[in-house]
Amino acid sequence: MTNFGEQNLVDGNKDYAAAFTQGDLALPPSQKYAILTCMDARIDPAAAFGIPLGAAHVIRNAGASTRDAFRSLIISQQLLGTTEVLVVKHTGCGMLTFDDETAKSLVAKTRGKEAAAEVEHIDFLTFPDLEKAVLEDVEWLKEKAVEKDVLVSGWIYEVETGKARKIVG
């Protein structure tokens, strides 16, 4: 079996590093914003959302969950000066397809009791309705005192067309 991950990194990085010229960028994002999106393999944030290197934080997790990303967002804002968050969920998201019980029983079945105990208290933050989930996640974030004066908007990216549309904000 081929370990594509390691092979791609080694081969791809050789070419990337050979042509690399942007080693003098500053640590804080130059355009002071963060994009939170899903880890879905079909999303290429830099290309699809027009993000220049060094301009923005890109935070990714399963489902583009604001709760899951809260720690990173606070670091982004308080330590690195970002003032805007774009929450981008997407069509065909895996998080629409299961619930906590399914995930936990799957772990128990494939990994056993000890593993089941490890995930017992995890909220997998799945959602049955995409647009509603965008609204709720944006609302959840905006209600936090630590997010005061941060501009938050919610979006849906279509993996079928490559188009992003604004839902709220």
Binding positions for Zn(2+) are 38, 40, 90, 93
The number of residues that bind Zn ion (CB under 5 A) is: 3
- Report yes or no: 73 and 141 within 8 Å, Cβ to Cβ: yes
Residue 9: strand, helix, or coil: helix
Find the binding residues for Zn ion in span 57-86 (CB under 5 A).
Answer: none
Q: Both tokens of residue 86?
A: 């774009």
**Segment contacting Zn ion (CB under 5 A): 35-43, 72-80, 109-117, 139-147?**
35-43
Question: Rounded to whole angstroms, how far apart are CA atoms 37 and 43?
Answer: 8
Selected binder of Zn ion within 29, 33, 40, 57 (CB under 5 A): 40
**Residue type at 96 in one-letter notation:** L
Selected binder of Zn ion within 34, 35, 36, 38 (CB under 5 A): 38
Residues 6+ apart with CB under 8 A from 25: 53, 54
**Segment contacting Zn ion (CB under 5 A): 14-22, 39-47, 116-124, 157-165?**
39-47
Q: Which stretches of the chain bind Zn ion, using CB under 5 A?
A: 38, 40, 93
